[in-house]
């Protein structure tokens, strides 16, 4: 069976998690252009040249760049429509997605459910889809 574009992008995001060094949460993201070509893939991790003490969970948090931000790295605003993430994006990543003109977000799991994320998507006109764990 042929994958939908949502399934395709989410599978690419899932593969990106394999690059993450974060022992607590490996997160991946993929951004598709309007023609469904891949604009970017990212995973959560430190900025280039920065070392993180992964043993200290609280110390690592402010140093980790989110997968979504890394996926948008080479995209241009309004050239993309879909953000696929292995976790429901946080408030800041939804704001980032909206600034790029994203109209759809597909995700696999919820890390910490925050009512703000779905509400922000609704307010920004972003359709939110959750696909099952088999993606």
Helix (H) or strand (E) holding 106: strand 104-109
The CATH code of the domain that includes 95 is 3.40.140.10
101: left (phi over 0), alpha (psi -120 to 50) or beta: left
Number of domains in the chain: 1
Instruction: Please list the residues that pair with 107 across neighbouring strands.
Output: 85, 130
| Residue 12 placed within a domain | yes
- Is residue 67 within 8 A of residue 13, CB to CB? The reply is yes
Window from 28-32, 50-54, 126-130 with minimum mean pLDDT: 50-54
Lowest average pLDDT, out of 59-63, 77-81, 93-97, 122-126, goes to 59-63
Is-contact 29 68, C-beta < 8 A? yes
Asked if residue 52 belongs to a domain, the reply is: yes
Show the domain range for 75.
5-130
- CA atoms within a 13 Å half-sphere pointing along the CA-CB vector of 110: 11
Q: What tokens does 126 get?
A: 């972003």
């Amino acid at each position: 069976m042929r994958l939908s574009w949502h399934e395709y992008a989410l599978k690419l995001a899932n593969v990106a998690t394999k690059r993450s060094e974060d022992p607590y949460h490996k997160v991946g993201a993929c951004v598709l252009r309007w023609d469904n070509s891949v604009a970017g893939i990212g995973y959560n991790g430190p900025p280039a040249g920065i070392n993180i003490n992964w043993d200290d969970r609280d110390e690592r948090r402010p140093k980790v760049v989110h997968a979504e931000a890394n996926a948008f790295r080479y995209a241009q605003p309004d050239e993309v429509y879909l953000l696929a993430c292995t976790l429901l994006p946080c408030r800041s990543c939804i704001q980032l997605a909206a600034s790029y003109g994203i109209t759809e977000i597909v995700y696999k799991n919820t890390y910490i459910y925050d009512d703000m994320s779905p509400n922000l998507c609704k307010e920004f006109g972003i359709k939110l889809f959750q696909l099952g764990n088999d993606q």
